[in-house]
Amino acid sequence: MRRKTVAFSVLPMAVCVVLLVWIAVCGQEQAAHLDYPAIFNKMDVMIPMRDGVRLHTEIYVPKHISEPLPFIFERTPYGLHDGSDGFTGKLHIYDDLIEDGYIFVFQDIRGRYKSEGHFVMFRDPCVTKDPKCIDEGTDTNDTIAWLLKHIPDNNGRVGILGISYGGWLTTMAILHPSPAIRAASEQASPADQFLGDDFHHDGAFRESYGFEYSTMMETGKTNFFFKFSKFDTFDWYLNNLGPLSDANGLYLHGAIPTWNDFVNHPNYDEFWQRQAFAPYLKNLTLKVPLLNVTGWWDQEDFYGPNKIYALLKNRDANHYDYLAGGPWNHGGWAGGTGRALGAIDFASNTSEYFRKHIQAPWFVYWLKGEGELPFHRAEVFQTGTNRWETFDHWPPRANVRERKLYFHPSSVLSFSPPGRNDAREFVSYVSDPMHPVPYRHRPISRTYGPGSGWYTWLVQDQRFVYLRPDVVAWETRVLERPVTVTGDIVAHLYASTTGTDSDWIVKLIDVYPETAPKPTPMEGYQLMIADEVFRGRFRKSFEKPEPIPPGKVIEYTIDLHTNDHCFLKGHQIMVQVQSTWFPVIDRNPQKFVPNIFKATAADFQKATQRIYFSTRYSSDVEIPVVEQ
């Protein structure tokens, strides 16, 4: 049960941090925005829901209306944060839509900021027709019914969208949509919090994110962040917090509902399955055109929008399921130019392109009946070549061949399978949970905050861990021609451990040339293209974990997800494997315990890991290569 909240010794979130839509673009150069008070009249209202709870809503109606206008509707748990002019800062990300003419509506969800009621993190959908049941979908529909009745000069059509939690709220709204919803765009929505999004990846707990996000959201109605006693949170999580079992005793005191859910549901049980979208979407006939938006380097919810798109496309008789993907981090398409991410330059303003040439035409077409659809099924940005591509199917089917990059002795990666005469059949390393591999450059500042490396850690140069004794790597020769990877990437890892549990992290990396005609910061850069962690106890079932037999060679199939990237001529392809990724992933004790959230310090042990590359056990990464 989720009931209690708690107040910590905390600091208030900066506005840039609270508006998670802006997290990805804070610090980037921002264009001058419109004069919103000159454009809109503002209404600030409390809209009643079916159970009597009232939700705080701001409505922005254009001052000069020549024809009935549709609504653009965004719901959020992060607050509206009006500026000195009394207008929400959320308007800043909609300049391209404002120019097309809409009535904008922004709402605090139940139990957050100025709205009444009790907040529940990712509230379960109603699965019955009980008229008293409430969820985020019913709150959306009740709000829309009020808007249609009380706001004049509307054309009866609503477009709903949001990023991150807002994307999840959007997906909830299309399960049983109001007939007035004519277009939706879930952007970076989580789809499964155990298999691939914010809180877990393949069962491995995302420790720093789970701790900091749950405390941020459940310390009251507004956002706060936990006050760390050390700037380097790597050190704090390792030595001040220690095992997850100490979190409640030392800091949380049982008062964070979501943390208690982590502890009480360590496996993929009914609790997590009920929150996941698969049971609701796999047989859903989509009634609302849906634009799914994903960023190749989304550090929070990359799995979600791709999964939602995939679940819906097989029953998409109405051709309503669309996908846009680009070279962005979490929400990076919403603001700024999108010309670069960290040190990576994409040679064009990708975020501006999305807003002007994908998102704006999308809503104009469905809500106003103007123009044409901007693309067929999927429009994605191919990194490496830095160009936009349009496909009728995603992943594309034409001219794509599945090929395997095999591990070999002497750190060689090749399209040729291992030979029978290879002298070595495995490489080994010692994984020590007391000395874990950091997931990004130290010092690791808190997840949310000005200057945090969290927003761009997926594009950080991986040379900072390359050649560590607990990280092993394989690398191709210098490419004589480009290798374009478009579609789903899967690792097949044959491995053994001396422990009875283990994590396996696989990273597919683009290695830039060591020399260039002109010196650049990218010489020798190791750029992660795809990556994932897999918790070994779940190799047979996410519902019923099992110990790993010590010393036994086991094949682990690890989904590295989808991408569109060209490894250019002169570059190399690298694969890195490791067993810790701290503190974004909690430390596996490497000794099987029924519940890692209850493991004690005595349970943690070193383990010797072996990665195999023989003719019998041929580890590889399978990639979809576009035929030239």
CATH number where 421 lies: 2.60.120.260
Question: Do 71 and 164 share a domain, yes or no?
Answer: yes
Q: How confident is the model at residue 438 (pLDDT cuts 50, 70, 90)?
A: very high
**Of 341, 362, 391, which one is at a domain's C-terminal end?**
391
- Domain assignment of residue 10, yes or no: no
Question: Do 377 and 409 share a domain, yes or no?
Answer: no
Question: Do 386 and 405 share a domain, yes or no?
Answer: no
Q: Residue 375: its pLDDT value, please?
A: 79
Q: Residue 16: its pLDDT value, please?
A: 40
SS3 260: helix
Amino acid occupying residue 29: E
- Domain assignment of residue 530, yes or no: yes
* Mean pLDDT score of the chain: 93
Q: Residue 365: its pLDDT value, please?
A: 97
Q: Which two tokens stand for residue 11?
A: 């600091």
Please list, in sequence order, all residues whose beta carbon lies within 8 angstroms of the beta carbon of residue 22, skipping any fewer than 6 positions away.
16, 89, 93, 331, 334, 335
pLDDT at 366 over 90: yes
Q: Residue 31: its pLDDT value, please?
A: 58
Select from 325, 327, 324 the least CA-distant residue to 343: 327
pLDDT at 583 over 90: yes
Q: Are 508 and 560 spatial neighbours (Cβ–Cβ below 8 Å)?
A: yes
Residue 393 CB neighbour total at 10 angstroms: 12
Q: How confident is the model at residue 23 (pLDDT cuts 50, 70, 90)?
A: very low
Cα 86 to Cα 147, 199, 474, 563: the distances in Å are 21, 35, 56, 41
**Of 337, 357, 391, which one is at a domain's C-terminal end?**
391
Query: 456-486 pLDDT, tens per residue?
Result: 999 999 999 999 999 999 999 999 999 999 9
Question: Do 412 and 498 share a domain, yes or no?
Answer: yes
Question: Do 75 and 156 share a domain, yes or no?
Answer: yes
**Of 391, 425, 460, which one is at a domain's C-terminal end?**
391
Q: Are 336 and 350 spatial neighbours (Cβ–Cβ below 8 Å)?
A: no
Q: Region of 319 please: left (phi>0), alpha (psi -120 to 50) or beta.
A: left
Per the DSSP assignment, residues forming a β-bridge with 43 are 59
Q: Which two tokens stand for residue 448?
A: 């949310």
Q: Residue 594: its pLDDT value, please?
A: 98
CA atoms within 13 A on the CB side of 388: 18
Question: Do 312 and 446 share a domain, yes or no?
Answer: no
pLDDT at 12 over 90: no
- Domain assignment of residue 106, yes or no: yes
Sign of CA dihedral 155, 157, 162, 166: positive
Alpha-carbon gap, residue 274 to 192, rounded angstroms: 10
- Domain assignment of residue 205, yes or no: no
385: phi then psi, degrees, rounded to nearest 5: -80, -20
- Domain assignment of residue 38, yes or no: yes
pLDDT at 32 over 80: no
Question: Do 160 and 285 share a domain, yes or no?
Answer: yes
Question: Do 295 and 408 share a domain, yes or no?
Answer: no
Give pTM, 2 decimals.
0.94
Query: 526-571 pLDDT, tens per residue?
Result: 999 999 999 999 999 999 999 999 999 999 999 999 999 999 999 9
Question: Do 385 and 410 share a domain, yes or no?
Answer: no
Out of 7-21, 80-94, 242-256, 388-402, least confident range: 7-21
- Domain assignment of residue 494, yes or no: yes
Percentage of residues of the chain with pLDDT beyond 70: 95
- Domain assignment of residue 234, yes or no: no
Q: Residue 3: its pLDDT value, please?
A: 34
pLDDT at 242 over 60: yes
- Domain assignment of residue 451, yes or no: yes
Q: How confident is the model at residue 8 (pLDDT cuts 50, 70, 90)?
A: very low
Question: Do 491 and 454 share a domain, yes or no?
Answer: yes
Q: Residue 29: its pLDDT value, please?
A: 46
Q: Residue 13: its pLDDT value, please?
A: 36
Alpha-carbon gap, residue 544 to 301, rounded angstroms: 25
Domain with 499 in it:
400-626
Q: Residue 520: its pLDDT value, please?
A: 79
Cα 223 to Cα 59, 170, 448, 512: the distances in Å are 23, 21, 11, 41
Query: How many domains would you assign to the chain?
Result: 2
CATH of the domain at 42: 3.40.50.1820
Tokens 């979190």, residue?
247
Q: Residue 519: its pLDDT value, please?
A: 75
Select from 164, 175, 171 the least CA-distant residue to 185: 171
Question: Do 514 and 554 share a domain, yes or no?
Answer: yes
pLDDT at 517 over 80: no
Question: Do 439 and 293 share a domain, yes or no?
Answer: no
The reply to whether omega before 443 is within 30° of 0 (cis) is: yes
Q: How confident is the model at residue 450 (pLDDT cuts 50, 70, 90)?
A: confident
Find the mean pLDDT for residues 384-393. Answer: 96
